[in-house]
Structure 1
Amino acid sequence: MEKPAFYSVLPANVRYDEHLKANEKILYSEITALCTKDGTCWASNNYFAKLYHVSTVSISTWINHLKKLGYVSVTFEYETGTKRIAKRIIGIKQNFNTPQRKVNGGVKENFKDPIKENFKENITSINNTSKSKKTNKEKPKQGGSGVRNDFEKLWKLYPNKKGKEKAFNFYQKALKHGVTNKQIQDGIVKYKHEIAYLKTDMRYIKHGSTWFNQSGWDDDYQTPEPRSSKQSELDRVIAIQKREDLIYNKCSEFGSIEKALPVIQETYPDITWEKADRIFHPERYLSRRGVENAN
């Protein structure tokens, strides 16, 4: 990653956008200072978190909000042949030569950028994040008890149940803008998978009202890479060995299979006396197999 430039850029429509928090505006400015000539930055959440002494969750939330409002684009590059993220690319989507619209009824300026060559929009980065095509043909519902019932089901699924009524209002707005119930449900499921994968502390899980307000279903979430067949086979072998060790140790501890079996079945209900005997006295079955083969 290149060192940040001495100057950063904070255009008027970002400066005076009432939907942005002060920290989000500062982060936008920092991103412009880190941008390469093609208008992209690949600094990690961890880099920004250390820079501003906040959590990586806060940084992720700020970037997603900037993305939602159309100020940045976010794409990912993956390691060859895997779904593991190698690099995140943040693109500046603001065209600094375009006259700015009025903000708060007073500010209107044609922002002439003295260092515009450093901030050309990376058009190709938008291709991977476009949401214009809708493959789901489910028609959004517009009101009534059906909408409330659908929301209640989503609310039961969401992991941090704070701000329920605000979340419901944002849910209704999303439906009016063409978002489907299934899109939101899939987003919650992906978010829960990321929480489990990263073992996110409860205090860092977004309140329900925040997640619905920020259109969390549009976010990109980290999920574990699918296990290879070799890894799955190794896991199976380890599990078998773990079970046999427990059976042998319990039989040794209690002195007999009869006494140990009830305890063993608390963990492995499918274990019978014969299965336990095969593990605790393997020599009996080896000798029997030898006789059968000789015959």
Structure 2
Amino acid sequence: MSSLNLKGIWIPIEILTDDKLSDKEKIIYAIIIYLSKENQYCFLTNKTISELLNISVTQVSNLINSLKSKEYIDTELIYKENTKQVEMRKLIPIKNKYTYLRKVKYPPQENFNTPIKENFKDNKYNNKINNKYNGNNKIYKKNMANFEQRKYDDIDLTRLYANADAFI
């Protein structure tokens, strides 16, 4: 812990007032931001953080994973040559997840300033567009729910029912 060279931390108001983070997560995140000012990342072990905050290594691991899942930090593992053993872990703070270069090239736009065109607002009831028939602008009766109001040709309607014998 002597190699940490940490005299104190300053917690920005954005982190302090963030409701998504617990108190321990806020402290760990502030430490990661402070130590990564030079290189944009820092090397911190779970044991170092646990000794600093007086909590268990397992709890530190859970807090780091929580910060990662909430997209406040990113981790990069550096392995020993020709092995699967982890040599170091980079902790990379994501100060603003909308300005951080993510896997998506174009982030989603938050505010759309283009208005909806007048013809597209409610196309369901726009009879001038929907009821054109062969270039004729005749508007037909809408919402005829009862089949008796409709005009049918000479069709035997009894064949349409499943139990046609019951109606004859």
TM-score by length of structure 1 reads 0.31
| Cα drift, residue 41 of structure 1 | 1.0
Query: Which residue is 1:18 aligned to?
Result: 19
1:80 maps onto 2:81 in alignment: yes
Corresponding residue SS for 2:77:
strand
Query: Which residue is 2:151 aligned to?
Result: none
Q: Is the 8 A contact 1:4 1:33 kept in 2?
A: no
Change (3 A) 1:38 1:63: same
CA distance in 1, matches of 2:54, 2:7: 21
Gaps of 5+ in 1: 99-120, 133-295
Change (3 A) 1:78 1:30: same
Gaps of 5+ in 2: 105-168
Query: Which residue is 1:287 aligned to?
Result: none
CA distance in 2, matches of 1:4, 1:74: 22
- After TM superposition, the structure 1 = structure 2 runs for residues 40-59 of structure 1, keeping only pairs within 5 Å, are 40-59=41-60
Instruction: Output the aligned Cα RMSD.
Output: 2.8
| Cα drift, residue 32 of structure 1 | 2.1
Identity %: 26
Offset from partner CA, 1:127-166 (integer Å, 9 cap, x none): xxx6x7xxxxxxxxxxxxxxxxxxxxxxxxxxxxxxxxxx
Query: Which residue is 1:60 aligned to?
Result: 61
| Cα drift, residue 4 of structure 1 | 3.7
Query: Which residue is 1:246 aligned to?
Result: none
TM-score by length of structure 2 reads 0.52
CA distance in 1, matches of 2:73, 2:18: 14
Q: What is the identity, as a one-letter code, of the residue corresponding to 1:15?
A: L
CA distance in 1, matches of 2:83, 2:40: 27
| Cα drift, residue 13 of structure 1 | 3.0
Offset from partner CA, 1:156-211 (integer Å, 9 cap, x none): xxxxxxxxxxxxxxxxxxxxxxxxxxxxxxxxxxxxxxxxxxxxxxxxxxxxxxxx
Change (3 A) 1:7 1:55: closer
Q: What is the identity, as a one-letter code, of the residue corresponding to 2:75?
A: V
Offset from partner CA, 1:25-60 (integer Å, 9 cap, x none): 011112223225122111100011111111101101
- Max radius of gyration: which structure? 2
CA distance in 1, matches of 2:26, 2:9: 11
CA distance in 1, matches of 2:72, 2:82: 31
CA distance in 2, matches of 1:57, 1:71: 19
Higher percent of residues as helix: 1
Q: What is the identity, as a one-letter code, of the residue corresponding to 1:91?
A: I
Q: What is the identity, as a one-letter code, of the residue corresponding to 2:26?
A: K
Q: Is the 8 A contact 1:8 1:32 kept in 2?
A: no
CA distance in 1, matches of 2:95, 2:9: 14
Q: Is the 8 A contact 1:7 1:33 kept in 2?
A: no
The 4+ residue runs of structure 1 with deviation greater than 3 A are 1-9
Q: Is the 8 A contact 1:6 1:33 kept in 2?
A: no
Q: Is the 8 A contact 1:75 1:89 kept in 2?
A: yes
CA distance in 1, matches of 2:42, 2:34: 9
Corresponding residue SS for 1:30:
helix
Change (3 A) 1:20 1:13: same
Q: What is the identity, as a one-letter code, of the residue corresponding to 2:56?
A: S
CA distance in 2, matches of 1:10, 1:36: 14
Corresponding residue SS for 2:82:
coil
Change (3 A) 1:46 1:21: same
Corresponding residue SS for 1:77:
strand
